[in-house]
Amino acid sequence: MSTQLADPALIAARLDRARAAMRDRGVEALLVSVGRDLPYLAGYEAMPLERVTMLVVLPDGEATLVVPALEAARVTEMPGAFTVVPWRETDDAIGVIAGLLGDRRTVAIGDQMWARFLVELLERMPDLRVLRAVDVVGDLRMVKDDAEIEALAAAGAAVDGIAAELQAGRIPLLGRTEAEVSADLSRRILEAGHERVNFAIVATGPNAASPHHHPGPRVIEQGDLVLCDFGGTMAGYCSDITRCVVVGEPDPEVVDAWAVLRAAQQAAVEAAVIGTPCEEVDRAARRVIAEAGYGDYFIHRTGHGIGMEEHEDPYMVEGNSRPLVAGHAFSVEPGIYVPGRWGMRLEDIVVATEQGPRRLNRADHALAVV
Amino acid sequence: MSTQLADPALIAARLDRARAAMRDRGVEALLVSVGRDLPYLAGYEAMPLERVTMLVVLPDGEATLVVPALEAARVTEMPGAFTVVPWRETDDAIGVIAGLLGDRRTVAIGDQMWARFLVELLERMPDLRVLRAVDVVGDLRMVKDDAEIEALAAAGAAVDGIAAELQAGRIPLLGRTEAEVSADLSRRILEAGHERVNFAIVATGPNAASPHHHPGPRVIEQGDLVLCDFGGTMAGYCSDITRCVVVGEPDPEVVDAWAVLRAAQQAAVEAAVIGTPCEEVDRAARRVIAEAGYGDYFIHRTGHGIGMEEHEDPYMVEGNSRPLVAGHAFSVEPGIYVPGRWGMRLEDIVVATEQGPRRLNRADHALAVV
Bridge partners of A305, per DSSP, are A312, A330
Residue B114 to residue A113, Cβ atoms within 8 A: yes
What was the pLDDT predicted at A90?
A: 84
| pLDDT more than 90, % of chain A | 79
Choose the weakest-confidence range: A293-307, B33-47, B122-136, B294-308: B33-47
Digit-coded pLDDT (tens) for A131-163: 999 888 877 889 999 999 999 999 999 999 999
Q: Return the higher-pLDDT residue of A358 and A49.
A: A358
What was the pLDDT predicted at B270?
A: 98
Residue at B279: amino acid letter = E
Confidence of residue A64 (pLDDT cuts 50, 70, 90): very high
- Could you give the CA distance from residue A93 to residue A52 in angstroms, rounded to a whole number? 7
Average pLDDT, chain B: 93
**Are A34 and A46 in contact, with CB atoms under 8 Å apart?**
yes
What was the pLDDT predicted at B135?
A: 82
pLDDT surpasses 50 at A357? yes
Residue B73 to residue A122, Cβ atoms within 8 A: no
Average pLDDT, chain A: 93
Report cis status (omega within 30 of 0) of the bond before B59.
Answer: no
Distance of CA B86 to the CA centre of its chain: 30
What was the pLDDT predicted at A2?
A: 38
**Are B148 and B121 in contact, with CB atoms under 8 Å apart?**
no
**Are A317 and A278 in contact, with CB atoms under 8 Å apart?**
yes
For A71, which of B132, B212, B317 is closest by C-beta distance? B212
Nearest Cα to Cα of residue B345 among B220, B235, B202: B202
Residue B71 to residue A212, Cβ atoms within 8 A: yes
* Distances, alpha carbon A42 to alpha carbons A4, A8, A34, B36, B336, in Å: 13, 9, 12, 29, 29
Number of helices (H), then strands (E), belonging to chain A: the values are 9, 18
- Could you give the CA distance from residue A6 to residue A78 in angstroms, rounded to a whole number? 9
- Could you give the CA distance from residue B222 to residue B241 in angstroms, rounded to a whole number? 24
- Contact partners, residue A34, CB within 8 Å, separation at least 6: A46, A47, A48, A53, A110, A112, A113, A114
Residues of A in Cβ contact (< 8 Å) with B131? 119, 123
Confidence of residue B61 (pLDDT cuts 50, 70, 90): confident
Q: Environment class of residue A296 by beta-carbon count within 10 Å: exposed (0-12), middle (13-18) or buried (19+)? A: exposed
Residue A318 to residue B89, Cβ atoms within 8 A: yes
Digit-coded pLDDT (tens) for A258-274: 999 999 999 999 999 99
What was the pLDDT predicted at A94?
A: 96
Residues of A in Cβ contact (< 8 Å) with B183? 190-191
Residue A47 to residue B120, Cβ atoms within 8 A: no
Cα Rg of chain B (Å, integer): 22
Digit-coded pLDDT (tens) for B94-139: 999 999 999 999 999 999 999 999 999 999 999 999 999 988 887 7
Average pLDDT over residues A11-30: 92
- Could you give the CA distance from residue B96 to residue A20 in angstroms, rounded to a whole number? 35
- Could you give the CA distance from residue A26 to residue A20 in angstroms, rounded to a whole number? 10
Residues of A in Cβ contact (< 8 Å) with B195? 179, 183
Q: Is B282 on the interface with A (CB under 8 A)?
A: no
Residues of B in Cβ contact (< 8 Å) with A312? 50
- Strands A29-32, A106-109: parallel, antiparallel or unpaired by DSSP? parallel
* Distances, alpha carbon B74 to alpha carbons A231, B44, B152, B321, in Å: 20, 8, 24, 40
- Could you give the CA distance from residue B114 to residue A115 in angstroms, rounded to a whole number? 6
Q: Environment class of residue B86 by beta-carbon count within 10 Å: exposed (0-12), middle (13-18) or buried (19+)? A: middle
- Could you give the CA distance from residue B66 to residue B71 in angstroms, rounded to a whole number? 10
Interhelix angle B178-191/B146-167, nearest 10 degrees: 140
- Contact partners, residue A10, CB within 8 Å, separation at least 6: none
What was the pLDDT predicted at A74?
A: 82
What was the pLDDT predicted at B3?
A: 36
Confidence of residue A3 (pLDDT cuts 50, 70, 90): very low
Nearest Cα to Cα of residue A342 among A231, A259, A255: A255
Angle at A123 between CA A120 and CA A129, to 5 degrees: 95
Confidence of residue A1 (pLDDT cuts 50, 70, 90): very low
Chain A, chain B: beta-carbon pairs less than 8 Å apart: 133
What was the pLDDT predicted at A4?
A: 39
pLDDT surpasses 60 at B4? no
Digit-coded pLDDT (tens) for A300-332: 999 999 999 899 899 999 999 999 999 999 999
What was the pLDDT predicted at A6?
A: 67
**Are A48 and B48 in contact, with CB atoms under 8 Å apart?**
no
Average pLDDT over residues B306-319: 92
pLDDT surpasses 50 at B1? no
Residue B70 to residue A214, Cβ atoms within 8 A: no
To 10 degrees, the CA torsion angle through B172, B175, B179, B181? 10
Bridge partners of A200, per DSSP, are A230
What was the pLDDT predicted at A8?
A: 84
Residues across chain B: 370
Residues of A in Cβ contact (< 8 Å) with B213? 73-74
For chain B, positions 306-325, list CB contacts with chain A under 8 A: 310-312, 317-319
Nearest Cα to Cα of residue A45 among A34, A55, A59: A34
What was the pLDDT predicted at A286?
A: 98
pLDDT surpasses 70 at A211? yes
Domains and CATH numbers, chain B: 8-141 (3.40.350.10), 143-369 (3.90.230.10)
- Could you give the CA distance from residue B61 to residue B57 in angstroms, rounded to a whole number? 8
DSSP state, B34?
S
Provide ipTM, 2 decimals. Answer: 0.79
Please spell the DSSP secondary structure of B84-132, one letter per residue. Answer: EEEE-TTS-HHHHHHHHHTT--EEEE-TTSBHHHHHHHHHH-TT-EEEE
Q: What share of chain A is helix, strand, coil (3-state, %, to 5)?
A: 40, 25, 40
Confidence of residue A233 (pLDDT cuts 50, 70, 90): very high
Residue A130 to residue B119, Cβ atoms within 8 A: yes
Digit-coded pLDDT (tens) for B206-238: 999 988 888 989 999 999 999 999 999 999 899
Angle at A237 between CA A232 and CA A238, to 5 degrees: 35
What was the pLDDT predicted at B2?
A: 38
Digit-coded pLDDT (tens) for B322-355: 999 999 999 999 999 999 999 999 999 999 999 9
**Which of A90, A116, A320 is most worth mutating to test chain B (most B CB atoms within 10 A of its CB)?**
A116
Residues of A in Cβ contact (< 8 Å) with B112? 114-116
Residue B90 to residue A117, Cβ atoms within 8 A: no
- Could you give the CA distance from residue B353 to residue B328 in angstroms, rounded to a whole number? 8
- Could you give the CA distance from residue A111 to residue A309 in angstroms, rounded to a whole number? 12
What was the pLDDT predicted at B62?
A: 83
pLDDT surpasses 50 at A177? yes
What was the pLDDT predicted at B46?
A: 85
Which strands, in side-by-side order, build the sheet including A303-305?
A312-316, A303-305, A329-332, A348-351, A358-359
- Could you give the CA distance from residue A327 to residue A332 in angstroms, rounded to a whole number? 15
- Contact partners, residue A68, CB within 8 Å, separation at least 6: A51, A52, A53, A86, A87, A89, A93, B212
Q: What share of chain B is helix, strand, coil (3-state, %, to 5)?
A: 40, 25, 40
Confidence of residue A34 (pLDDT cuts 50, 70, 90): confident
For A131, which of B90, B110, B119 is closest by C-beta distance? B119
Residue B113 to residue A114, Cβ atoms within 8 A: yes
Per the confidence metrics, is the pTM higher than 0.80? Answer: no
